Amino acid sequence: MKTLLLIDIQNDFLPGGALAVPGADELVPVVNALLPGFDLVVATQDWHPPDHGSFAANHPGRDVFETIDLDGLPQTLWPVHC
């Protein structure tokens, strides 16, 4: 069985999304062209609850992409997404 695994291809990572990846929209037509060649397509979805510790919005006074100490480990702060 031929399986295609798609990782986190979702709106928040496309242009205009909360955490857009430059050029990510170029993947969409490629993926669409690949789909017919596979028996099974499995897709993952990035997801976080609104109070997730990695969101800068949940750390007053902190900025997106700043690194903080979270439970003894470094954590990059992200915009609210997914």
pLDDT digits (tens, 9 = 90+) for 47-59: 999 999 999 999 9
Distance CA 55, CA 79 (A): 6
Summarize the confidence of residues 36-46 as an average pLDDT: 97
Judgement on whether residues 39 and 53 belong to the same structural domain of the protein: no
Judgement on whether residues 42 and 53 belong to the same structural domain of the protein: no
Summarize the confidence of residues 9-15 as an average pLDDT: 95
What's the structural domain count of the chain?
2
Amino acid at 30: V
- Residues β-bridged to residue 72: none
Judgement on whether residues 57 and 40 belong to the same structural domain of the protein: no
Return the DSSP state at 56. Answer: G
What pLDDT, on a 0 to 100 scale, did the predictor assign at position 30?
97
Residue 35 contacts residue 5 (beta carbons within 8 Å): no
What pLDDT, on a 0 to 100 scale, did the predictor assign at position 23?
96
What pLDDT, on a 0 to 100 scale, did the predictor assign at position 32?
98
- The SS3 of residue 45 is coil
Distance CA 59, CA 69 (A): 11
Q: Which residue has the tokens 């295609």?
A: 4
